[in-house]
């Protein structure tokens, strides 16, 4: 009976699994490598936990996350197993060689290890225009994540939901491998899993499923059918690329499949963004298919230890160039990176005092040992460099022969390292350490914008467009709340300015093409973290409302007050737009509004304290970008307005001056200036400082 | 700005501006901000006449900076930088071209509305004769 057979199969798989586990543990024990053993045990425990979670969870995104952890754990276990096997082999080989030949001088040098980091992964997608404008059926969504493997370490990126409104898959994580050989091979794998909203392929009964699939559109139905059947592109278990040594537990739930992979090595390292080719597995018929453009863009950098650590240090004597032939200067030399730093004293190194002088040690340097000094019987070390057209030679010596030998050894090792790490040793590449994990921001449901829209009173085109813009803004801002860049505060003051006037932006709305307002253009491969934020709403002007700004973004709230007079006509017209999340802000809005009617004084100070608590959770972005989005933490409320007026360098006058007449319209000149500044909102239009 | 038809040669009245970069710590800065690019939305550009113009525009001048001293103005469209064409560049490419570390001076060719007006007025006078 088929049911029995299936149960039997499952049992057999479990037994196999247990045997595998035992086998792994045995090997680990025999190698007496407690390190790997602990790691394997940890991973196995994680895996069990993930299985249980997967079986227990009900929500789609929880299931996806759990499945992702499961996949990661399984891959890690396999990697550890491979590592164990390799070590076992090496051990045996060593025993063999020891027996066969006497240990000759093991003269092979080992290059120093280094840190390798990959960050800002971006994988462009290539949607067909038919896909793009399709409005039949639900949004085809996939959950994707990347696994990056180097040596025995495997890291996973965060999971991203991808649908046809995205043009690129972006992973913001920075992944750093601390100990990598120069001959490393790093494998990047992209896994994806179909995440249709309403159909969870496992649970729909067959009859209903076939009915649904026949009634859906042809391509949607095809995809669904293929997701239902375990066809060639959705094999049970791993993506089919890796040997099935470890059967993945057949837990019901979303399964990830390998969509694309690539292998990178030292030659791909460069201190900037580069594009690499991806090998795509799977085809259009698979449920987890995404139309990848075929390449991947990322920043791949390395810091070999010879560049960051002191490779050798000690006391040396340097012969003075010119002057008396026998005068030696005592220095404390430190070999690091591409130079030999010579400090006057050893204490200077820690004290960060500038070295007395620096001798370059790079690929063009030549070092040789000269003949023995007749008096001290110690060899001198001559270091020659080409500076411009001239050759400059420094002569060094140390106190004893042993020291000299050690320095020469260090220099040879350094040269060897540089020859192995090649382009990584030209200059020190920056590697940003991944910042402590921020709480994952709530990703808004990426449905159509219209799902969340509530049109209240009039069907005036401008009102509708404004609602649209505001909703989009909210969506963006809410999703970016965790990573809200600091520079936003620089530009917040733009928005209230335009509020007082009848909207100049309506004309722009009508001018825009009617198709999907939520289409983000391809974000440039720039090192700035914020491009998505600034480009997301290109089609809709964000300058409409201070009201929305007040109620959605905490950091804009503070700046909405400098011109309260211009806010009032707008605020009074939309009292009913209360959004549940920002209830507290709306409350403050109404109290401050009340206060404003009384007098026209400076509001800035009064609204600082309430907002400071809101501003606290916004993390300071660790990157220091070159543009005007500086890490200027204008979150300090007390100096906010002064920093506003000073930071906005377009010659804006202090806001207080316009508050003399609380209800009068601001002067036309200032209005146009404000208008301009509002239109220069970097969220609409990317700007860079040079 | 003259009407920009992609693929067709562009005629514009330009001004040469030479900016000497200022060293600020580790960076060489020019003291202005740019916006635009072929990968950006041209409709957001407040300075362009033709809202399909995807050129690089100067959006902000740091007061007292090298760009201000060299008489670069907000709203200028940058046509060339050190001989390289800037009318068909992505935003990031443009930024990189301006911030090359081994260049101390950038020689820009910029065009602005006031220039065109000035020429038109002077030419108009001539034509009327």
d(C-alpha B32, C-alpha A555), whole Å = 25
Average pLDDT of the residues in B27-48: 89
Q: What share of chain B is helix, strand, coil (3-state, %, to 5)?
A: 25, 30, 45
Tokens coding A578: 């209360």
Inter-helix orientation angle A604-615/A640-647, to 10°: 90
Judge whether residue A88 has pLDDT over 70: yes
Average pLDDT of the residues in B72-77: 92
Pairwise CB contact (< 8 Å): A690 & B98:
yes
Pairwise CB contact (< 8 Å): A679 & B98:
no
pLDDT for A45 equals 86
Between B91 and A651, name the one with better pLDDT.
Answer: B91
Distance (Å) from the C-alpha of residue A542 to the closest C-alpha of chain B?
A: 11
Judge whether residue A42 has pLDDT over 70: yes
CB neighbours of A77 closer than 8 A, spacing ≥ 6? A24, A40, A43, A44, A47, A246
pLDDT for A132 equals 59
What 3-state class would DSSP assign to A102?
coil
Please say whether the beta carbons of A186 and A149 come within 8 A: yes
**B56-61/A687-689 β-pairing:** unpaired
Q: A315 forms bridges with which residues in the sheet?
A: A332
Half-sphere exposure of residue A34: CA atoms within 13 angstroms, side-chain side: 0
d(C-alpha A109, C-alpha A181), whole Å = 13
Judge whether residue B91 has pLDDT over 60: yes
Inter-helix orientation angle A583-598/A604-615, to 10°: 170
Chain B residues touching A651 at Cβ < 8 A: 63
What 3-state class would DSSP assign to A664?
coil
Distance (Å) from the C-alpha of residue A633 to the closest C-alpha of chain B?
A: 20
pLDDT for A272 equals 80
Cβ of residue B99 closer than 8 Å to a chain A Cβ = yes
CB neighbours of A584 closer than 8 A, spacing ≥ 6? none
Q: Among candidates A335, A361, A331, A336, which has minimal Cα distance to A348?
A: A331
Between B126 and A559, name the one with better pLDDT.
Answer: B126
- With bands split at pLDDT 50, 70 and 90, how would you rate the model's confidence at A549? very low
Please give the residue of chain B at the shortest CA–CA distance from A510. B43
Average pLDDT of the residues in A56-66: 82
- Interface confidence, given as ipTM, is 0.87
Q: Which residue out of A120, A530, A648, A686 would a mutagenesis test of the B interface target, given it has the greatest number of B Cβ atoms within 10 Å?
A: A686
Give the residue ranges of DSSP H helices in A216-322: 218-228, 305-308
How crowded is residue A205: how many other Cβ atoms within 10 Å of its Cβ? 8
Judging by beta carbons within 10 Å of its beta carbon (0-12, 13-18, 19+), is residue A66 exposed, middle or buried?
Answer: buried
Judging by beta carbons within 10 Å of its beta carbon (0-12, 13-18, 19+), is residue A577 exposed, middle or buried?
Answer: middle
Chain B residues touching A684 at Cβ < 8 A: 41, 44
Cβ of residue B90 closer than 8 Å to a chain A Cβ = yes
Chain B residues touching A626 at Cβ < 8 A: 27, 99
Pairwise CB contact (< 8 Å): A685 & B29:
no
Share of chain A above pLDDT 90, in %: 0
**A257-264/A186-194 β-pairing:** antiparallel
- What length is written for chain A? 690
Tell me the CA end-to-end span of chain A in Å, nearest whole number.
74
Average pLDDT of the residues in A523-537: 38
Chain A residues touching B34 at Cβ < 8 A: 687-688, 690
Chain A residues whose C-beta is within 8 A of a chain B C-beta are 508, 511-512, 521-522, 524-526, 535, 538-539, 626-628, 649-651, 676, 679-680, 684-690
Of residues B35, B39, B95, nearest to A522 (C-beta) = B39
Tokens coding A54: 């997967």
Cβ of residue B96 closer than 8 Å to a chain A Cβ = no
Of residues A511, A679, A685, nearest to B40 (C-beta) = A685
Q: Among candidates B52, B40, B17, B50, which has minimal Cα distance to B89?
A: B40
Geometric angle at alpha carbon B42, from B36 and B48, rounded to 5°? 80
Pairwise CB contact (< 8 Å): A686 & B35:
yes
Judging by beta carbons within 10 Å of its beta carbon (0-12, 13-18, 19+), is residue A599 exposed, middle or buried?
Answer: exposed
Distance (Å) from the C-alpha of residue A337 to the closest C-alpha of chain B?
A: 19
Pairwise CB contact (< 8 Å): A535 & B41:
yes
Q: What share of chain A is helix, strand, coil (3-state, %, to 5)?
A: 40, 20, 40
The region that residue A668 occupies, defined by phi over 0 for left and psi between -120 and 50 for alpha, beta otherwise, is alpha
Average pLDDT of the residues in A307-325: 77
d(C-alpha A131, C-alpha A142), whole Å = 14
d(C-alpha A590, C-alpha A572), whole Å = 10
Distance (Å) from the C-alpha of residue A20 to the closest C-alpha of chain B?
A: 52
CA torsion, ordered A603, A605, A607, A609, to nearest 10 deg = -170
Pairwise CB contact (< 8 Å): B43 & A511:
yes
Of residues B33, B43, B62, nearest to A687 (C-beta) = B33
């Amino acid at each position: 009976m088929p049911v029995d057979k299936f149960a039997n199969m499952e049992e057999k798989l479990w037994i196999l699994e247990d045997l595998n586990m035992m086998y792994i543990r045995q090997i680990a024990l025999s190698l007496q490598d407690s390190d790997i053993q602990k790691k394997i045990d940890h991973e196995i425990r994680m895996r069990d936990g993930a299985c249980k979670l997967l079986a227990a969870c009900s929500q789609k995104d929880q299931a996806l996350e759990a499945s992702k952890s499961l996949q990661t754990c399984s891959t890690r276990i396999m990697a550890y197993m491979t590592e164990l096997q390799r070590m076992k082999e090496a051990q045996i080989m060593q025993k063999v060689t020891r027996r066969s030949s006497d240990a000759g001088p093991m003269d092979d040098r080992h290059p120093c290890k280094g840190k390798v980091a990959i960050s800002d992964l971006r994988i462009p997608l290539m949607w067909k225009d038919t896909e793009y404008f399709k409005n039949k059926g639900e949004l085809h969504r996939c959950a994707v994540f990347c696994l990056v493997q180097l040596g025995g370490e495997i890291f996973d990126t965060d999971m991203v939901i991808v649908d046809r409104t995205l043009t690129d898959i972006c992973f913001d994580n920075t992944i750093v491998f601390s100990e990598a050989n120069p001959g490393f091979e790093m494998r990047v794998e992209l896994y994806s899993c179909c995440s249709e909203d309403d159909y969870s392929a496992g649970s729909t009964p067959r009859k209903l499923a076939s009915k649904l699939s026949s009634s859906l559109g042809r391509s949607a139905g095809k995809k669904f059918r293929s997701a239902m059947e375990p066809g060639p592109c959705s094999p049970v278990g791993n993506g089919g690329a890796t040997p099935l040594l470890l059967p993945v537990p057949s837990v019901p739930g979303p399964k990830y499949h390998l969509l694309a992979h690539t292998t990178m090595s030292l030659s791909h390292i460069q201190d900037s963004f580069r594009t690499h080719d991806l090998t795509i597995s799977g085809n259009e018929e698979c449920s987890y298919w995404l139309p990848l453009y075929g390449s991947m863009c990322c920043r791949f950098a390395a810091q070999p230890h010879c560049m960051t650590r002191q490779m050798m240090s000690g006391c040396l004597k340097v012969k003075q160039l010119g002057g008396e032939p026998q005068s030696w200067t005592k220095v404390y030399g430190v070999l690091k990176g591409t130079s030999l730093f010579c400090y006057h004293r050893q204490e200077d190194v820690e004290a960060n005092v500038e070295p007395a002088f620096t001798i370059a040690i790079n690929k063009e340097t030549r070092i040789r040992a000269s003949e023995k000094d007749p008096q001290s019987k110690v060899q001198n070390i001559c270091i020659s460099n080409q500076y411009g057209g001239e050759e400059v030679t420094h002569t060094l010596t140390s106190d004893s022969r042993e020291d000299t030998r050690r320095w020469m050894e260090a220099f040879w090792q350094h040269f060897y390292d540089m020859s192995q790490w090649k382009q990584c040793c030209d200059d020190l590449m920056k590697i940003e350490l991944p910042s402590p994990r921020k709480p994952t921001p709530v990703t808004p449901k990426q449905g159509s914008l219209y799902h969340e829209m509530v049109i209240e009173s009039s069907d005036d085109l401008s009102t509708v467009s404004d609602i649209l813009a505001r909703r989009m803004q909210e969506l963006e801002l809410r999703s970016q709340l965790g990573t809200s860049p600091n520079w936003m505060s620089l530009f917040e003051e733009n928005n209230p300015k335009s509020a007082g006037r009848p909207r100049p932006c309506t004309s722009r709305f009508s001018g825009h093409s009617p198709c999907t307002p939520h289409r983000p253009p391809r974000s440039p491969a720039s090192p700035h973290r914020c491009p998505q934020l600034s480009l997301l709403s290109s089609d809709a002007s964000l300058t409409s409302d201070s009201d929305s700004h007040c109620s959605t973004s905490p950091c804009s709230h503070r700046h909405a007050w400098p011109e309260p007079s211009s806010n009032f006509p707008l605020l009074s017209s939309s009292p009913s737009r209360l959004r549940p999340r920002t209830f507290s802000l709306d409350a403050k809005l109404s109290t401050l509004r009340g206060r404003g009617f009384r007098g026209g004084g400076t509001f800035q100070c009064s609204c600082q304290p309430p907002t400071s608590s809101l501003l606290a959770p916004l993390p300071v972005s660790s990157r220091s970008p070159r543009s005007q989005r500086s890490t200027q933490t204008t979150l300090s409320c007390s100096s906010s307005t002064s920093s506003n007026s000073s930071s906005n360098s377009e010659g804006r006058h202090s806001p207080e001056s316009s508050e003399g007449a609380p209800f009068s319209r601001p002067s036309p000149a200032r209005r146009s200036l404000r208008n301009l500044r509002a239109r220069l909102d970097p969220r609409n239009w990317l700007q860079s400082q040079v | 700005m003259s009407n920009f038809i992609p693929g067709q040669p562009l005629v514009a009245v330009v001004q040469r501006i030479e900016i000497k970069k200022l060293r600020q710590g580790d960076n060489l800065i020019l003291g202005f901000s740019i916006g635009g690019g072929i990968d950006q939305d041209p409709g957001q550009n407040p300075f362009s006449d033709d809202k399909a113009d995807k050129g690089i525009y100067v959006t902000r001048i740091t007061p007292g900076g090298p760009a201000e001293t060299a008489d670069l103005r907000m709203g200028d469209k940058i046509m060339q930088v050190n001989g390289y064409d800037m009318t068909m560049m992505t935003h990031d490419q443009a930024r990189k071209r301006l911030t090359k570390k081994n260049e101390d001076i950038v020689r820009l060719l910029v065009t602005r509305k006031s220039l065109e007006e000035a020429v038109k007025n002077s030419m108009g006078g001539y034509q009327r004769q």
